[in-house]
Amino acid sequence: MKKKMASRFSVDAATKTHSLHLVHPCDVCEVRPYSACAALNPDEQAHLVEIMTTVEVDAHQPIFDEAERAQHVFNVTEGAVKIYKLLSDGRRQITGFLFPGDFLGLTHNESYAYSAEALTHTKLCRFPRQKLEALLDEMPKLEQRLLGMASHELAAAQDQMILLGRKSAKERVVSFLMMLSNAAVRHGRPDNPVGLPMTRNDMGDYLGLSLETVSRALTQLKTQGLIQLLDERRVRLAKPEAMREIAGGV
Amino acid sequence: MNEALTPRLLDKSTIDRAFPLVRNLVPAMTQERWTQFARPHLSSRSPHWPRGLMAIQNPKGYILGLFVFEVRDDLYENRALCIDNIIVPNLPGRDLVWTAIVDTAEHLAAMNGCRVIRAGLADELEPADTDRAWLSASLERAGYSLEGVRAVKRVDSAGAAAPH
């Protein structure tokens, strides 16, 4: 309980909010064409802006905790987020990674089903959930667009189920890299090189592999000339077609 | 039906994909327990009495809705399509998912010569009270009417053999 309170406190301490802007962030938002907001006309956009606050969260700081009352819905505009669940035995299972353009916090229940933590310095649009739900009743286009994109937490968790299904360690790592590459394209970023804002430990947690196995698989892919490790956070896909074949259709 | 949402009959290789949706509804659910629950619904007792798990998916293949169905012998109607464990997550656009579920159930009923569809809400994947109210109102809007009562009594099962 102490830990939980401490982490909640750190959310407040690390989160900087801005509700007044001379130039509104939506006007200069790079992910707008790729997020649910793209479906809105200027009038609808203005309604959404009225209930929105921009939030910045430092790397490795929580955005919300599992079981906390779900008061806000977020749209990632910059940075990267990991979502995870705490298992009954105390272990942590990362169920997805979210990137600019992704919504999070669209939970089924009154409380968040996952915890969300910033992987890097992250900027988000924050909407009070009740006000957003009321607005969605008046804005079917946004509602439909959000449904089309699914709740990204849900989509990310479903992607993970595919990754974990009957694949070898190497196939999982390759599939993961291809998935990140595909996600980059969906969000209007180049598909290659692939950014890896998460640690190798996080990758292993997500893929159900140990840290050593992830590192071994990456080294093996490098040795085979399939990837180039540009630095800790970036991988170039040297032979994307061959990798797609290994990934088995991801 | 909304063309963006399509029904998909789940099988052994795809039931895992529905797990995140189920866990979204029941956070404490484990994958093992979900698989254990889902498997018996996958195989029909005979071709004449089909049953299964039907998912509603979007064009990207993400599962947004789910229900269990079974064609049963009905004393008065001859054949009835029974649906339960209806999962519609409380997300924006859930009315569209709901409509897809209703349309799919009606299509299944027509395909299997059923003159009646029975939908159950008091099932294993128990929805929250607010969702139950929403489901109940949505069923009514879709032309369903309340019929009969199903009662549940929790009994002390200490000492009884676990079913699983």
Q: Which of A84-93, B51-60, B145-154 tops mean pLDDT?
A: B51-60
Contacts with A111 (C-beta within 8 Å, 6 or more apart), sequence order:
A66, A67, A68, A69, A70
Model confidence at B45: pLDDT above 90: no
Confidence of residue B24 (pLDDT cuts 50, 70, 90): confident
Q: Are A198 and A214 in contact (CB under 8 A)?
A: no
Nearest chain A Cα distance for residue B125, angstroms: 14
Q: Are B83 and B68 in contact (CB under 8 A)?
A: yes
Q: Does the distance separating the beta carbons of B21 and A154 come in below 8 Å?
A: yes
Q: A106: part of which helix (H) or strand (E)?
A: none
Q: Which residues pair with A73 in a beta bridge?
A: A127
Q: Which residues pair with B72 in a beta bridge?
A: B80
> What residue spans of chain B are helical by DSSP H?
19-25, 31-38, 94-111, 129-141
Does residue A29 belong to the interface with chain B, where contact is any CB pair within 8 Å? Answer: no
Average of per-residue pLDDT across A191-203: 94
> For chain B, where are the E strands, in sequence order?
6-9, 51-57, 63-74, 78-87, 116-119
At B100, give phi and psi (nearest 5°).
-65, -40
Does residue B38 belong to the interface with chain A, where contact is any CB pair within 8 Å? Answer: no
Lookup: tokens for A222: 């490098």
Interface test with B, best of A147, A164, A179, A182 (most B CBs within 10 A): A147
Higher pLDDT, A2 or B126: B126
Instruction: Give per-residue pLDDT as tens, B105-162.
Output: 999 999 999 999 999 876 666 666 667 778 888 889 999 998 887 787 888 766 555 5
Q: Are B29 and B66 in contact (CB under 8 A)?
A: no
Q: Which residues pair with A76 in a beta bridge?
A: A124
Q: In one letter, which amino acid is A135?
A: L
Instruction: Give per-residue pLDDT as tens, A33-73.
Output: 777 677 677 777 788 888 889 999 999 999 999 889 989 99
Phi-psi region of A150 (alpha: psi -120 to 50; beta: other; left: phi over 0): left
**Cα–Cα distance between A45 and A85 in angstroms, integer?**
33
Average of per-residue pLDDT across A16-28: 57
Complex ipTM value: 0.70
Neighbours of A57 (CB within 10 A): 24
**Cα–Cα distance between A133 and A67 in angstroms, integer?**
20
Average of per-residue pLDDT across A180-208: 90
Q: Which residues of A touch B4 (CB under 8 A)?
A: 148
Contacts with B46 (C-beta within 8 Å, 6 or more apart), sequence order:
none
Residue in B16, B25, B96 nearest the CB of A108: B25
Residue B151 gets which letter from DSSP?
-
